[in-house]
Structure 1
Amino acid sequence: MADADEPSSIPNSIPSDPSDANLQKKHASVIERLANRNQTRLENSITRRSESDSSTSSTSSFLDRFSDSKRAIESALAQCRLTPPDPAQLRSHLDGISTSISDLEKLVAESSYSLPSYEVRASLKSISELKQALDNLNSELLPKKKFSFKNKATKKDQKSESKDPGLENADSMLMNKQQQASYSARDSPGIRDKDGEILVKNFKGSDVGEFTISGLSSCEVKLIGSVRALFIHKLRNCKVYTGPVMGSILIDDVEECTFAMASHQIRIHNAKKSDFYLRVRSRPIIEDSSSVRFAPYRVSYEGIEEDLTDATLGVETGNWENVDDFRWLRAVPSPNWSILPEDERIDTIKISPTEG
């Protein structure tokens, strides 16, 4: 037996190998990274699920409201056909049905920002069918006179209106019935029939409803301030730069033009070889158009940020590149529009009230 005073040959502890310590640190770091990554994925999954549930709930609520209103209109149309009202009340009754259809359009307009594009298309198709049904009912019950909510027009006025396709397409705008009834190219403030001019309008401090730009060639139009609705028709080789439009913009029959505009809704019909610099809360809609290109909004003037905020257009939504082609229903992307290459985009347009 070893002497009690003799030092033990077995050490009390074995020093750790430095390389082992480094391995343990690396292992702990990897475990921590994996744990953090898993937590991030879990949080993102919860966020996406919440957003999806919210979107689904919003869409479901819209569809319920839309279906109820649609059924009520269809019922009113059927009842009117089976048991026509007294002739003295017929016009008022048809007026009420038209107002209901316009209210349904307004519901789609207000909800389109959060709806899937196919739901917007399906809803607009249903509204178009309701309008056609009302037109057919007008023909059956009022065969001798075209149904209209306006005061009786003279033959000269009717001839003038029939020449302006923009009036016929005004129904496409998601506007209320009062706006549709009051609009005409003759009465609406606007700029018409100009050639080779620079035209500047300052709406700051004014309450402008509908504004029309029509029949221009090789012109440059600049609008400062806000309007409620904008109708653009029959432009060739023009440039149009605007402040915010608080409602909708309808563009029809334009070619080789450049537009820079901000609005809640923009519908483009029969446009060719034109560029659009947009800020829009809902997806832009094109119909019967070709070789049109899109880029973000580029307009500046003193006070524009305040105007955009007042029109609830202060934030860029990115919808300028989410274009719906209503004449292209295939699964592959539409060949009628494209994103404007950055190296071909114009600089920010700065508008001064002293121009023009």
Structure 2
Amino acid sequence: MMDKSLGARLFEERMNQRENERLASKEKKNVVESNETMVERVRYFSEILSLKRGEIEHSLNAAVHLNKEDLPEHFNKVSDELQQVNRYLSDSSLYLPLYNIRKAQEQVQDLQQRSEILEEQLLPKKKFGFKQRKMKKLLKDDIIPCKIEDLVDSVPKKLFSMQLYNDNSCGFADKEDEELIMKDKDLEGKDVVLTNLRRCRVRLYGTPSTLHMTSLTSCEILVGPVSTSVFLDKCTDCTFVFACQQVRIHNNRRCNFYVHVTSRSIIEDSKEVRFAPYNWHYPELEEHFVKAGLDRDENHWHAVDDFNWLALDVPSPNWSVIEEPDRVVDWR
């Protein structure tokens, strides 16, 4: 009996060791596959950006050979192409490393500057009116606390950051100690922007297209299903509850995330961020999940890629899971 018991224990220990080795190998394989996927995404993005840049450069080279009466329409098309590239860059920033984003920004800004200079040479009077008209279309008075006149002479530097604010934008800016609410009819298909809020409670009952949150401090943000992506930058001591396809978290500190996300979350330059599954409820929630096109059964809330942590065999110290006893369950 003693020998049999000892043999059984040795067998059990051996099986447990093999199981632990299998799980470790699987985890390492998942991380390697994730890194390979990232390399492929960067390669694909670079190819598309190179193609778009080539098309714009060709258009700029062709401008010097056009009749003067054809130039206004030609530069309008160039401007539209630049805005398309900026939107592509904004969407891609959710899964690109910061280095690639900054490099792409520089390349696009170089094209913008070249376009501005060429238009100045070929249509000096047209340029000012055209640029001011374009900026009016991009700005929202209740979102961006600046004047059009202050930006007219610095479009190349400002254009990329301005792309988040457009005719489809809504949201809240520059608020303190307020409860802020938006309903379904005001949110559906909108690009929602929350910026420079302090100690605010925000409730968004609906299905935005995108959600951008910057410079939030000690806020509680609850959002219905977002159709596409969520982007956060420079948020501190906040709690976020949202559902989306993909999320990019940049430069955040001491924030909690209750998320339903159908792809892996991405964090960068962030510390002390914690994750738990999405658990907000309101009467129209199920209807809004369907409207947003999100799969209720697919939630990768615990799958997080940290761009600042490349070790394959050691978990990132920058994020953790909120243990069940510590999770908020009643959002009033």
Same fold (TM over 0.5): yes
Q: What secondary structure, in the 3-state scheme, does the structure 2 residue paired with 1:150 have?
A: helix
Measured after TM superposition, the shift of residue 251 of structure 1 is 1.8
Whole-Å Cα distance in 1 between the matches of residues 218 and 193 of structure 2? 17
**Structure 1 residues 25-44: aligned runs within 5 Å:** none
* Structure 1 residues 72 and 293, CA gap change in structure 2 (3 angstroms): same
Whole-Å Cα distance in 2 between the matches of residues 100 and 205 of structure 1? 25
Could you list the per-position Cα deviations for residues 206-226 of structure 1 after superposition, in whole angstroms to 9, with x for gaps in the alignment?
A: 645122323322222122122
* Structure 1 residues 100 and 216, CA gap change in structure 2 (3 angstroms): closer
Say if 1:279 and 1:316, in contact at 8 Å, map to a contact too: no
Whole-Å Cα distance in 2 between the matches of residues 234 and 205 of structure 1? 23
In structure 2, what is the equivalent of residue 133 of structure 1?
107
Measured after TM superposition, the shift of residue 197 of structure 1 is 2.9
- Identity score, percent: 29
Q: Which deviates further from its counterpart, 268-277 or 329-338?
A: 329-338
Q: 2:256 aligns with which of 260, 275, 279?
A: 275
Say if 1:69 and 1:104, in contact at 8 Å, map to a contact too: no
Q: What secondary structure, in the 3-state scheme, does the structure 2 residue paired with 1:271 have?
A: coil
In structure 1, what is the equivalent of residue 82 of structure 2?
98
Measured after TM superposition, the shift of residue 158 of structure 1 is 5.2
* Structure 1 residues 288 and 76, CA gap change in structure 2 (3 angstroms): same
* Structure 1 residues 226 and 99, CA gap change in structure 2 (3 angstroms): same
Q: What secondary structure, in the 3-state scheme, does the structure 2 residue paired with 1:75 have?
A: helix
Structure 1 position 157 matched with structure 2 position 139 = no
**Structure 1 residues 300-339: aligned runs within 5 Å:** 300-331=281-312, 332-339=314-321
Q: What secondary structure, in the 3-state scheme, does the structure 1 residue paired with 2:52 have?
A: helix
**Structure 1 residues 74-113: aligned runs within 5 Å:** 74-80=53-59, 83-85=62-64, 86=66, 87-89=71-73, 91-101=75-85, 104=88
Whole-Å Cα distance in 1 between the matches of residues 58 and 244 of structure 2? 39
In structure 2, what is the equivalent of residue 121 of structure 1?
96
* Structure 1 residues 169 and 324, CA gap change in structure 2 (3 angstroms): farther
**Structure 1 residues 198-277: aligned runs within 5 Å:** 198-203=179-184, 207=188, 209-277=190-258
Whole-Å Cα distance in 2 between the matches of residues 313 and 275 of structure 1? 22
Whole-Å Cα distance in 1 between the matches of residues 80 and 181 of structure 2? 40
* Unmatched tracts of structure 2, length 5 or more: 1-32, 121-126
* Structure 1 residues 326 and 239, CA gap change in structure 2 (3 angstroms): same
Say if 2:57 and 2:111, in contact at 8 Å, map to a contact too: no
In structure 2, what is the equivalent of residue 27 of structure 1?
none
Measured after TM superposition, the shift of residue 98 of structure 1 is 2.2
Letter in structure 1 aligned against 2:195: S
* Structure 1 residues 73 and 80, CA gap change in structure 2 (3 angstroms): same
Measured after TM superposition, the shift of residue 345 of structure 1 is 1.1
In structure 2, what is the equivalent of residue 72 of structure 1?
51
TM (norm. structure 2) is 0.65
Q: What secondary structure, in the 3-state scheme, does the structure 1 residue paired with 2:72 have?
A: helix
Could you list the per-position Cα deviations for residues 131-183 of structure 1 after superposition, in whole angstroms to 9, with x for gaps in the alignment?
A: 42221122234247897843488983354999xxx996565xxxxxxx76436
Q: 2:174 aligns with which of 177, 193, 217?
A: 193
Whole-Å Cα distance in 1 between the matches of residues 159 and 107 of structure 2? 20
In structure 1, what is the equivalent of residue 9 of structure 2?
none
In structure 1, what is the equivalent of residue 324 of structure 2?
342
* Structure 1 residues 235 and 96, CA gap change in structure 2 (3 angstroms): closer
Q: What secondary structure, in the 3-state scheme, does the structure 1 residue paired with 2:244 have?
A: strand
Structure with bigger helix share is 2
In structure 1, what is the equivalent of residue 124 of structure 2?
none
Say if 2:89 and 2:104, in contact at 8 Å, map to a contact too: no
Letter in structure 2 aligned against 1:338: S
Measured after TM superposition, the shift of residue 107 of structure 1 is 8.5
Q: Which one has a bigger Cα radius of gyration?
A: 1
Say if 1:280 and 1:320, in contact at 8 Å, map to a contact too: yes
Q: What secondary structure, in the 3-state scheme, does the structure 2 residue paired with 1:282 have?
A: coil
* Structure 1 residues 158 and 277, CA gap change in structure 2 (3 angstroms): farther
* Unmatched tracts of structure 1, length 5 or more: 1-51, 113-119, 172-178, 352-356
Aligned residues: 270
In structure 1, what is the equivalent of residue 24 of structure 2?
none
Q: What secondary structure, in the 3-state scheme, does the structure 1 residue paired with 2:233 have?
A: strand
Whole-Å Cα distance in 2 between the matches of residues 297 and 73 of structure 1? 38
Whole-Å Cα distance in 2 between the matches of residues 324 and 280 of structure 1? 13
Say if 1:248 and 1:263, in contact at 8 Å, map to a contact too: yes
In structure 2, what is the equivalent of residue 142 of structure 1?
116
Measured after TM superposition, the shift of residue 323 of structure 1 is 1.7
Whole-Å Cα distance in 2 between the matches of residues 93 and 249 of structure 1? 29
Say if 1:300 and 1:348, in contact at 8 Å, map to a contact too: no
TM (norm. structure 1) is 0.61
> RMSD across aligned C-alpha pairs, in angstroms?
4.2
Could you list the per-position Cα deviations for residues 261-311 of structure 1 after superposition, in whole angstroms to 9, with x for gaps in the alignment?
A: 111222222211010000112222222221111111010001211211221
Say if 1:81 and 1:137, in contact at 8 Å, map to a contact too: no
